Amino acid sequence: MSGPDQRPAPARLSGRLYGVGVGPGDPELITLKAVRILRSAPVVAHFAKRGSAGNASATASPYLAPEQTVLRLEYPITTEAPPAGVSYAEVLHGFYDRAARLLAGHLDAGRDVAVLCEGDPLFFGSFMYLHDRLAACYPTEVVAGVTAVGAASAVVGKPLTRRDDEFRVLVGISDEDSLVEGLTGADAVVVMKLGRNLDKVRRAVERAGLLDHAWYVERATMAGERALPLANVESGSAPYFSLVMIPSRLTR
Amino acid sequence: MSGPDQRPAPARLSGRLYGVGVGPGDPELITLKAVRILRSAPVVAHFAKRGSAGNASATASPYLAPEQTVLRLEYPITTEAPPAGVSYAEVLHGFYDRAARLLAGHLDAGRDVAVLCEGDPLFFGSFMYLHDRLAACYPTEVVAGVTAVGAASAVVGKPLTRRDDEFRVLVGISDEDSLVEGLTGADAVVVMKLGRNLDKVRRAVERAGLLDHAWYVERATMAGERALPLANVESGSAPYFSLVMIPSRLTR
């Protein structure tokens, strides 16, 4: 593992690190600033799962030119179980260390590096693992992006929060009782990270008395977009780009 | 007050209503989709306080042409107290009714109307009062935008939420005990609608043991932007475009 103090001192004019939010998926929901930075950066990096182009890369591809260097940072593990004797956290930690070193090489050589981030870079984004490792050593700028939360509200077409609403973002990996508690105390809720937790999340929403107001939104603003009442969703696993949204209590 | 059922039936080809998020303030943090719609809509509407150009209008003005009709929807009350015998809610209700009728006239005549919205239209935005009145009667589309929350995270430069964080958005108008409770239960928090509640919010943050981790952000991405530890903010009132942000407990 490499910390900032173990890296050679950067050249006098190091490159600039950008975390660029590319928005929720529709390439038109990227900001002008993101496009400007993507077009001007000699090096563009993005995370991707093995066997996948990466959604952030697909969203940004219309704005990239052939002469730019594209670094594909491929997650080492695609299945749930890491190799025997190694924790998933350790594997990921090493992966992020190596990715940060790769980027640092370009930054040290004076090249700006733009990291593509689905949604917003600092809202549940993998960019923050690079930010943790590099922001103290290189000039760093984050370009905020439209999140999946905003995209889902627009697709469902209901105000998410209004007036004095308390809004919560919960994650599906929490246990069922915590989810019920979180759902009950809020005026508007989004539940992210559904995956294999979809059925548990639905049970929690039902126990909180909110099933009639809950929407399931999949791939908002992307090809294959779906939005339907959570009560009508088939049982099973939800894809990565999915969430549950319960709009403002004042709108239901 | 006018409900949809009291308005004359729309012409066969009515215009399309757009709620267009223009982002947090920096004109470059608008999306390509928002720019396309603003450029193509014959009528552009925006809310504004008396004596102010309106921030959404300022953000979008680089993208508007002289031949477009701009409707300034000016709030009837700028001071805190409404006229004697009239509640603030009643005054606002009538104002939104009139604004909706004005837009309906253009929509009935077949003209698309784009309503400029600071941040995201469905996240604490005034657009929703027009959406309430018009979305059932006219084809309506919302364009999600970058919120002040994303802008503030980028300005502070700390990850807002990561991994299994529970994130909450609270409003400063809540009472102090509710704020303490809301702050205590979350892993990352934003408090909006500070205004005259700034000192109360700071007391609540301190009681929740979070003052060392709390940031105050004013006019993020706009001229006059400020970001400083909440502990260092002068006592008094905060402007409209301000919030308190407590980044992920995993990042502090």
CA A162, distance to chain mean position in Å, is 25
Pairs of residues, one from chain A and one from chain B, whose beta carbons lie less than 8 Å apart: 167
Is the model's pLDDT at A8 over the cut of 80? no
Residue-wise pLDDT tens digits, B46-65: 999 888 888 888 999 999 99
CA dist A21 to A60, B76, B86, B200, B211, Å? 10, 37, 45, 34, 29
Is the model's pLDDT at B37 over the cut of 80? yes
Q: Which residue of B has its CA nearest to A89?
A: B163
CB contact under 8 A, B166 and A153: no
Q: What is the mean pLDDT of chain A?
A: 92
To the nearest 10 degrees (0 to 180), the angle between helices B176-184 and B198-207 is 50
Give the model's pLDDT for residue B3.
46
What are the chain A neighbours of B168 within 8 Å (beta carbons)?
166-169, 186
CB contact under 8 A, A140 and B146: no
Rounded mean pLDDT, A210-229: 96
Lowest mean pLDDT among B7-11, B41-45, B86-90, B163-167: B7-11
DSSP state of A123: B
**Percent over 90 (pLDDT), chain A:** 83
Q: What is the mean pLDDT of chain B?
A: 92
Rounded mean pLDDT, B209-226: 96
Extract the tokens encoding B192: 């909006």
Rounded mean pLDDT, B111-119: 97
Rounded mean pLDDT, B22-35: 97
Q: What is the CA radius of gyration of chain A?
A: 20
Q: Which residue of A has its CA nearest to B31?
A: A31
CA angle A170, A158, A249 (to 5 degrees): 60
Rounded mean pLDDT, A36-57: 93
CB contact under 8 A, B157 and A142: yes
Give the model's pLDDT for residue B81.
65
Give the model's pLDDT for residue A3.
46
Lowest mean pLDDT among B83-97, B113-127, B128-142, B216-230: B83-97
Distance from CA of B213 to the nearest CA of A (A): 16
Give the model's pLDDT for residue A80.
58
Give the model's pLDDT for residue B9.
56
The ipTM, to two decimals, is 0.92
Is the model's pLDDT at A2 over the cut of 50? no
Distance from CA of B80 to the nearest CA of A (A): 16
Is the model's pLDDT at B252 over the cut of 60? yes
Give the model's pLDDT for residue A81.
65
Is the model's pLDDT at A158 over the cut of 50? yes
Extract the tokens encoding A196: 């294999």
- Up-side HSE of residue A206: CA atoms within 13 Å toward CB? 10
Q: What is the CA radius of gyration of chain B?
A: 20
> A65, A66, A53: which is closest to A223 by C-alpha?
A53
Lowest mean pLDDT among A2-16, B27-41, B87-101: A2-16
Distance from CA of A171 to the nearest CA of B (A): 6
| Reported confidence tier of residue A1, pLDDT bands at 50, 70, 90 | very low
* Sequence-ordered list of residues with C-beta below 8 angstroms from that of B136, at least 6 positions apart, any chain: B4
Would you tell me how many other CB atoms lie within 10 Å of the CB of residue B26? 21
| Reported confidence tier of residue A206, pLDDT bands at 50, 70, 90 | very high
Distance from CA of B181 to the nearest CA of A (A): 11
